[in-house]
Amino acid sequence: MTRNGDAPDRLLDEEPEAVRLEVTDVLDLHTFAPSEIGSLVRDYLDLAIEKGYREIRIIHGKGMGVQRDRVRKILAADRRVIRFGDALDPSSWGATIAQLIDGESG
């Protein structure tokens, strides 16, 4: 049987495949839903430290500051984050730069 006359039910009920993204020292949150941000940033911190990044950039946008505040609360609560603040380039408060501990010593 098909829905809308074009796809078998079994295909419509399958979960979409996960998309694998390369982990770099920059995480741009613009393409993610607000509900995903908390777990995404925590997972990103794990992977960034695993890869040995000492400094990361999280792009959250300027807007009203809601995403920035969420990101910074997560960073403030993580003992692996040494310090964080506004980017020192034209993006300024649209991105947060964070210094991380050395993964080998932490």
pLDDT of residue 104: 58
One-letter amino acid of 48: A
Residue 86, strand partner residues: 96
Higher pLDDT, residue 91 or 87: 87
Planar angle of CA 54, 68, 63, nearest 5 degrees: 135
Quickly state the pLDDT bin for 93 (edges 50, 70, 90).
confident
CATH 3.30.1370.110 corresponds to the domain 26-100: yes
Tokens 């310090």 sit on residue: 83
Quickly state the pLDDT bin for 12 (edges 50, 70, 90).
low
Q: How many CA atoms lie within 13 A of 96 on its CB side?
A: 22
pLDDT of residue 30: 92
| Paired sense of beta strands 81-86 and 2-3, if any | unpaired
Higher pLDDT, residue 48 or 105: 48
Question: Do 58 and 69 contact (CB within 8 A), yes or no?
Answer: no
Closest CA to 71 of 34, 21, 99, 103: 34
